[in-house]
Amino acid sequence: MKGITGKKPLKKGVTIFLVAAAACVILGVLLSRLIGNGDGTVVGERGKISIEDEYIGRLDISGTISESEGGGLLESDSYHHRWLLDRIEDMKSDGKNKGMILFVNTPGGSVYASDEMYLAIQDYRKKTGRPVYSYMASQATSGGYYISAPCDRIVANRNCWTGSIGVTMGTMYDVTEMLRKMGVRTVTITSGKNKAMGSPTTAMTSRQKKIMQSLVDEAYDQFVDIVADGRKLSRTAVRKIADGRLYTAKQAKARGLVDQIGTLQDAERDMKARFHLRGCKVEEISYDDNHGIISRLFGETVKRVFSSGIGGKSDIDRLKMLLEANQGFTVTYLSPTKR
């Protein structure tokens, strides 16, 4: 029948459309980087703060806190660590800057990156004497709370999740039994009995578990100290509420973890009134995250076009995936629950 075209031409047409659309998006990204946005917002990888009047900088801290620099074309994570640190440094040396509001919307991230951000915020506060507020949006958990703790005031959206004060090293897989059933033997050559601890092909000893736990415990103690110092609470009080659980905005306020439940505008008004900054404008300072725009526009459809499926794996394939997933472990201030 002439009217029937079949499925293959349709699939080909969709692919052509997606490729053409992606090309248009990339062209638009390039043009936007050349033209700029003209609204006072700092954008771009090499963006510098250039504001004529006195201002309060509103710094957007969104996405998983990591020392890596954001995602690729198909990824949408909007966190750019070095860029954010550079912007804090810019504001610190800018006489026109009169304060900083952190727009925090993150589940947390690595211990290293969270602490680097914390130290940069503390350095800004100590060297300038200017106020720093944290506005917690949808989520400010674990590392997100870690970087908020030293702020002069914390304002949480009424629907915000926060807390998750704790540390995780993730999941370690033990595939020794699976290997035994498959008749596979492994040999690992190391310079010491603890060099390969955490390897999925060797059962972890109780001593090695204690060693791993000590890494987590030290990072946890550091977190407790940060919260206690920032919120003027005793270490004992912090430990009682720092069991890793999530808190709603109301629950967090009742425990002294936040000062106020309100909107971003409430936070801005409070800073201006409390620190006599009514004449200052609030300038948004955020990374123009065009790298992840394809993911945001086309979502999983594009990802399926450019990535292979993971279904129908054999036992060998699944074993390989487990081994690859177990290559390294990062101690993190990261909530496993994301909004």
Q: Known catalytic residues? A: 142, 195
Report CA 124 to chain centroid distance, whole Å: 21
Report CA 288 to chain centroid distance, whole Å: 16
Residue 179, classified by CB atoms within 10 Å of its CB into exposed (0-12), middle (13-18) or buried (19+), is middle
d(CA 331, CA 126): 28
Asked if residues 227 and 237 have their Cβ atoms less than 8 Å apart, the reply is no
